[in-house]
Chains A and B, each alone.
Chain A
Amino acid sequence: MPSLATAILTVRVDDAPARRANLDAALARLARMPAIGVLVVEQGSLPAPASARSAFAYNPGELRTGWGLNVGALAAGADILVFGDPDVLPPSTLDTAVAYAARGWALVKPTRGRIVVPAPEVARVRAMGREGAMVARSIAGEPEDDVLCGGWFVIRAATFARLGGFDERFPDGFERLALSWRVERLRVATLELDDEPAIRLAGAPRDDDGAARALQSSLDGLDDDALARLAQVQAQSGGRRDKYRPSPGSAGR
């Protein structure tokens, strides 16, 4: 059965063992969703042996999630994109969300709220999948609010391009917050499935980064023309695989 959509994840080849275990769990779960193909964008200075369809993108520095996902979006060449986070279990509603996108919804969030699994329970939840999540939920209590474009979500490629993709200036999960903000500003029709919460296997991204907050506040002052221009420029320039590869005349001033 041909894939309706491509799921994109990005990791570093030297990620911590726990994160690799989370990635393996996510890939195993996605393998049971035939409507969804998978593309893993591996960041680093050397490619690692492929564990799924993968694309290598040179980046000797810190993980740049927004950039990696943009690289994957370009490489995927799919009409429907599924963006994921290896630290969040792919929800069982993901293929349903893809089906809604195939029927024309611009953006579909397969979950509502999130549960952060306590560290001592992570290995057990990871091994059990959704059933383990029920255990975690009984410990963690009610779901907390989640960012619209956090964790896993499904988006039509044309919509993603209109939004300018992930803002590569934002590090550490803030690229997802920035994209969520653009979805709201550009009034993208969004469907949220509320059958289950997202299950996060690692701590939530930092939410107190001063530089990212300042960048976010700089976006708040943009009028619609400026926001649209920013998105157009980013749609043209973003997702360049060789962005961080040194070239003659690299400069910093």
Chain B
Amino acid sequence: MKIAANVLVAMATVDGRVAAEAVAMLVGAGDGDSAPRFAAAIDAERAPGRNALVSAFHADPAGTHLWLVDPDLVLPRDALRRLLAHGRDVVALPVALPGATVSGEPRFDLGPLVGEDGALFVHERASAAAMLLSRAAVDALVDDAKRDGRVYAADVPLVGSDGVAATAVHYECFRPQARDGAWLADDVPACAALRRAGFAIHVDATIVAHRRACAVG
């Protein structure tokens, strides 16, 4: 099935390294004229890199979807096509946290389950390690940052396909924070902002993602 989409596959890396499996997945992700573009931001912290990627995508009106993917994630080659086929503004995958439960089962980086939507689950929060965002969803994140004054100048190196360029102004959409005595990962407030803007956080639990440790750097 061909899907009319202009997708930017965006990886926030800490040292510019990307797993070979991630590259292989990218090569297989397109279907002819809808091959995705690619961008990698390089920063010692994940959140500024993600913000650089969001800002670059936001500045290019041609893009229809932003797919945030961690560079150490190994995914099936048809993952992007399957995510797009859902036709939702926000779709993420279950990504396991480091370690496991006492029983040896993986623990997934997901917030509480709040509903279902056909074959998809709806969670309060999902990991941005592999999250597809529509243009409308990205715009909502950027608008939320603007309203709060979370706009800053930064110089985060960004490499990518032709036409993908770093911007001088970044929107702080992803920001780890401490609240009520707890530390919250950078995707927690981002998902909260999306929900406030009316976007459900969908999760496709049938796409299997694994981390490949050596690519993290």
Contacts A251-B200, A253-B89; A226 near B207 (Cβ below 8 A): yes
Contacts A236-B107, A237-B121, A253-B200; A229 near B208 (Cβ below 8 A): yes
Contacts A233-B205, A236-B108; A249 near B119 (Cβ below 8 A): no
| Distance between Cα atoms of A242 and B114 in the complex (Å) | 8
Find the B residue at minimum CB distance from A169: B116
Interface of chain A residues 12 through 41 with chain B (CB within 8 A): none
- Taking CB atoms, residues of chain B closer than 8 Å to A92 are none
Find the B residue at minimum CB distance from A233: B205
| Distance between Cα atoms of A184 and B194 in the complex (Å) | 39
Pair A229/B206 contact, Cβ less than 8 Å: yes
* B interface footprint on A221-245 (CB within 8 Å = 1, 0 otherwise): 0100110011011111110101110
Interface of chain B residues 198 through 217 with chain A (CB within 8 A): 198-201, 203, 205-208
Report the tally of A-B residue pairs with Cβ distances under 8 A.
Answer: 77
Q: Can you list 28 residue pairs at the A/B interface with Cβ under 8 Å? A: A169-B118, A211-B118, A215-B119, A218-B119, A218-B206, A222-B206, A229-B208, A230-B206, A233-B108, A235-B105, A236-B107, A236-B110, A237-B108, A237-B110, A237-B113, A237-B123, A240-B112, A243-B114, A247-B114, A250-B114, A251-B194, A251-B195, A251-B197, A251-B201, A252-B200, A253-B88, A253-B89, A253-B199
Interface size class of B (residues with CB under 8 A): 20 to 34
Pair A249/B196 contact, Cβ less than 8 Å: yes
Pair B108/A243 contact, Cβ less than 8 Å: no
Chain B min CB distance to A165 (Å):
11
| Distance between Cα atoms of A244 and B113 in the complex (Å) | 9
Pair B195/A215 contact, Cβ less than 8 Å: no
- Taking CB atoms, residues of chain A closer than 8 Å to B115 are 243-244
| Distance between Cα atoms of A229 and B199 in the complex (Å) | 25
Partner of A168, one of B116, B119, B200: B116
Q: Is B124 an interface residue (CB 8 A)?
A: yes
Pair A240/B205 contact, Cβ less than 8 Å: no
Q: How many residues of A contact B (CB 8 A)?
A: 28
Contacts A168-B116, A247-B114; A226 near B200 (Cβ below 8 A): no
| Distance between Cα atoms of A235 and B94 in the complex (Å) | 12
Partner of A230, one of B106, B107, B118, B205: B205
Closest 5 CB pairs of A and B: A249-B195, A237-B113, A233-B205, A251-B200, A169-B116
| Distance between Cα atoms of A210 and B92 in the complex (Å) | 26
Chain B min CB distance to A10 (Å):
17
Partner of B195, one of A168, A218, A238, A250: A250
Pair B119/A226 contact, Cβ less than 8 Å: no
| Distance between Cα atoms of A250 and B195 in the complex (Å) | 6
| Distance between Cα atoms of A105 and B96 in the complex (Å) | 31
Pair A233/B110 contact, Cβ less than 8 Å: yes
Pair A226/B107 contact, Cβ less than 8 Å: no
Interface of chain A residues 94 through 108 with chain B (CB within 8 A): none
Q: Is B185 an interface residue (CB 8 A)?
A: no
